[in-house]
Chain A
């Protein structure tokens, strides 16, 4: 919160922009959180004797320019800065679409995860680019092993719990049990797997989905 307050310090008209996609679903940046953050900023600034105007809006998907554009165009000239409650992708969409606007991130995008229960999320995917779940019984060693080991347990676990944190189950022990259950233990005996940490391409293109004429392939 302090960081956000510092970020917006110099601005007097703030558009708090939520995202109706993932950050709504995980209760971090939907309409409700937008309202909370805007209120907190107003309260903070009122307290400091530097009142601020806030606008609140939520884009359907902030990583989708088509969704961001109309909203920002409609509100043009009513704000000095966009405080985005989307993930990093959303913030950058805003920044790229409107290079002359200040686009600030209100959230720290932590991980891609799963809703364990209402209010509990766990990290399950690092978007590593080389999925191994097929031979690890559906348990991701990259995110769920504290050391991201790729070829078995480190030996530090005790009673099924990770040596890094006692409330964290040992991913490799879970992998072992899952493979046993699936009768696929032999996967573990395969040649040591070298993880192909791909260089992030930065871009994915599907020609079949793109507009325009197809390129001829002979």
Chain B
């Protein structure tokens, strides 16, 4: 026997945010006429302590079994009300939220009549949907207390060491023959003039010494299956193949400086890149009396539209090193905009100017021209073209994503952006997480970063990863898809369409979805030709109910 539906609707004034535009009393009266609604209540601030305790009280007193809150956005407030439902003794997923603030009162302020009608519609749709809500529980699985870090540059090694410091085992993979990444080729690191080889040498030594860190070079990730807490990873190192289990994965695959082929007469001898300049500075093999640096080479152009962020500081740093290395050297930096963010960088920029480094701005539509031994540039201050002496031309090129980032993204089933950098779940709210739980990212793999930033990110990612590793089990909410075996026709459609390759055919010829691995997108649910996959969090019944309620039955839109 099914229990009778008793929906409680709570309409929020949100001070004047909602009540200033919408007639709350009218909404309450209207909600009361809707099917299965047992009671309606208005609150001034539903999310405040008074509001939530009121919901708990009313749910208990009136024996409500579904709660609808018409207030602001579920993206910020849903967790509060779900918790409130749980406190009141009903499943937290017996809750539906209607956004009558962001989606109504705030955006239709000058159209109160229609806003009111819309709010009624939205409440009606939510109540209809609420009638089909299903309880959702949680389930847990064991966590493998081990991490895999892909990439042994400064970010990867910092991250691996930080995870190891917390007492967890780490598999550290490096695709090159040696660990160290880009820093192996650099000279000094701005703004504190740390010697790159020393910094990275210490990290490599620490990683090699630490028993908890298992380093593999010439390594490649072949296959990754499983999910947070329990990834099964297959990788190779040289000729050897390995299979292991890890709880979390960190992507720290770095980037590479763009090679400016066919740009500004680049030849690697007299027209070189900043990294080549650093190699020469490192060797002390430099004599040029007059150096012209060109910024934004191959960056901030239509086909590569981003600013690589670090090249300005690299140029400023190297111009100062040039000044030091060659007495009376002339250094010109031709730039479009200078990116010298932060107090220390700004100070370094100032110092470069004080020491006589000349900065000349150019525009994309009038770029400098590199000729034999000279660079021609329009000087905006002088209002005419000037020709600068150039024993050496140094091109500042952006960091681009490493060539295999796209392949790795497919193995890990995580996204990359249009420039093939790995894409975090949210740039502000979860900058070091992928949308797929249990996989994290840091360093240049994500976006060009300074050594310092890469280090921060690596420590951050290590901390995110350790949160998972430090628990014996991991709990997940069951907002996942599930196959109803008796309806399954065994057609393999779900197996083929799942972006995470989770569904598989079992020995009975029926599809099966491992709940721990399911990410809850609902793609298979919408694709299954037999409609045999259920998704309690957003079921066909719920969506159809909302569609059915789009238009009120027999309601005369008197406002028209």
User: Is the Cβ of A24 less than 8 Å from the Cβ of B496?
Assistant: no
User: Is the Cβ of A25 less than 8 Å from the Cβ of B489?
Assistant: yes
C-beta contact mask, A20-63 vs B, less than 8 Å → 1, else 0?
11001111001111010000000000000000000000100000
Given A24-B491, A25-B490, A31 contacting B496 (CB threshold 8 A): no
Shortest distance between the CB of A57 and any CB in chain B (Å): 12
Smallest CB gap from A20: residue in B: B489
B489 contacts which chain A residues (CB < 8 A)? 20-21, 24-25, 30
Smallest CB gap from A25: residue in B: B491
Shortest distance between the CB of B86 and any CB in chain A (Å): 34
| Residues of A near any B CB (own CB < 8 A) | 20-21, 24-27, 30-33, 35, 58, 115, 117-118
C-beta contact mask, B490-515 vs A, less than 8 Å → 1, else 0?
11110011000000000000000000
Besides A21-B489, A31-B529, A32-B528, 19 other A-B contacts (C-beta < 8 A): A20-B487, A20-B530, A24-B529, A24-B530, A25-B489, A25-B529, A26-B491, A26-B529, A27-B493, A30-B489, A30-B530, A32-B530, A32-B531, A33-B529, A35-B531, A58-B530, A115-B492, A118-B496, A118-B497
Shortest distance between the CB of A37 and any CB in chain B (Å): 13
Interface of B is mostly: loop
B491 contacts which chain A residues (CB < 8 A)? 24-27
Within 458-493 of B, Cβ neighbours of A (below 8 Å) are at: 487, 489-493
Query: Would you list 30 pairs from A and B whose C-beta atoms are within 8 A, ordered by A residue?
Result: A20-B487, A20-B489, A21-B489, A24-B491, A25-B489, A25-B490, A25-B491, A25-B529, A26-B491, A27-B491, A27-B493, A27-B529, A30-B489, A30-B530, A30-B531, A31-B487, A31-B529, A31-B530, A31-B531, A31-B532, A32-B528, A32-B529, A32-B530, A32-B531, A35-B531, A58-B530, A117-B496, A118-B493, A118-B496, A118-B497
CA distance A24 to B532 in the complex (A): 11
Top-4 shortest CB links A-B? A30-B529, A25-B491, A31-B531, A118-B496
CA distance A38 to B531 in the complex (A): 15
CA distance A35 to B543 in the complex (A): 14
Shortest distance between the CB of B80 and any CB in chain A (Å): 37
CA distance A71 to B487 in the complex (A): 15
CA distance A30 to B529 in the complex (A): 5
Smallest CB gap from B493: residue in A: A118
B532 contacts which chain A residues (CB < 8 A)? 31
A25 contacts which chain B residues (CB < 8 A)? 489-491, 529
CA distance A30 to B493 in the complex (A): 12
Smallest CB gap from B495: residue in A: A118
Smallest CB gap from B531: residue in A: A31
Shortest distance between the CB of B540 and any CB in chain A (Å): 9
Smallest CB gap from B529: residue in A: A30
CA distance A42 to B553 in the complex (A): 18
CA distance A154 to B368 in the complex (A): 64
Shortest distance between the CB of A79 and any CB in chain B (Å): 21
CA distance A33 to B532 in the complex (A): 13
A32 contacts which chain B residues (CB < 8 A)? 528-531
A118 contacts which chain B residues (CB < 8 A)? 493, 496-497
A35 contacts which chain B residues (CB < 8 A)? 531
Within 506-559 of B, Cβ neighbours of A (below 8 Å) are at: 528-532
B530 contacts which chain A residues (CB < 8 A)? 20, 24, 30-32, 58
A31 contacts which chain B residues (CB < 8 A)? 487, 529-532
Shortest distance between the CB of A15 and any CB in chain B (Å): 17
B531 contacts which chain A residues (CB < 8 A)? 30-32, 35
Shortest distance between the CB of B128 and any CB in chain A (Å): 18
CA distance A27 to B496 in the complex (A): 13
Most-contacted residue by chain A among B489, B492, B531 (CB, 10 A): B489
Shortest distance between the CB of B193 and any CB in chain A (Å): 57
Shortest distance between the CB of A138 and any CB in chain B (Å): 21
CA distance A204 to B411 in the complex (A): 49
CA distance A27 to B531 in the complex (A): 11
CA distance A26 to B490 in the complex (A): 11
A33 contacts which chain B residues (CB < 8 A)? 529
Shortest distance between the CB of A211 and any CB in chain B (Å): 27
Smallest CB gap from B491: residue in A: A25
Within 48-92 of B, Cβ neighbours of A (below 8 Å) are at: none
CA distance A135 to B474 in the complex (A): 57
Shortest distance between the CB of B512 and any CB in chain A (Å): 17
CA distance A21 to B531 in the complex (A): 13
A20 contacts which chain B residues (CB < 8 A)? 487, 489, 530
Smallest CB gap from A29: residue in B: B529
B496 contacts which chain A residues (CB < 8 A)? 117-118
CA distance A108 to B531 in the complex (A): 22
B529 contacts which chain A residues (CB < 8 A)? 24-27, 30-33
A117 contacts which chain B residues (CB < 8 A)? 496
CA distance A25 to B532 in the complex (A): 12
B487 contacts which chain A residues (CB < 8 A)? 20, 31
Shortest distance between the CB of A22 and any CB in chain B (Å): 9
A21 contacts which chain B residues (CB < 8 A)? 489
Smallest CB gap from A27: residue in B: B529
B490 contacts which chain A residues (CB < 8 A)? 25
Smallest CB gap from B526: residue in A: A32
CA distance A21 to B487 in the complex (A): 11
CA distance A117 to B531 in the complex (A): 20
CA distance A20 to B489 in the complex (A): 6
Smallest CB gap from B528: residue in A: A32
B493 contacts which chain A residues (CB < 8 A)? 27, 118
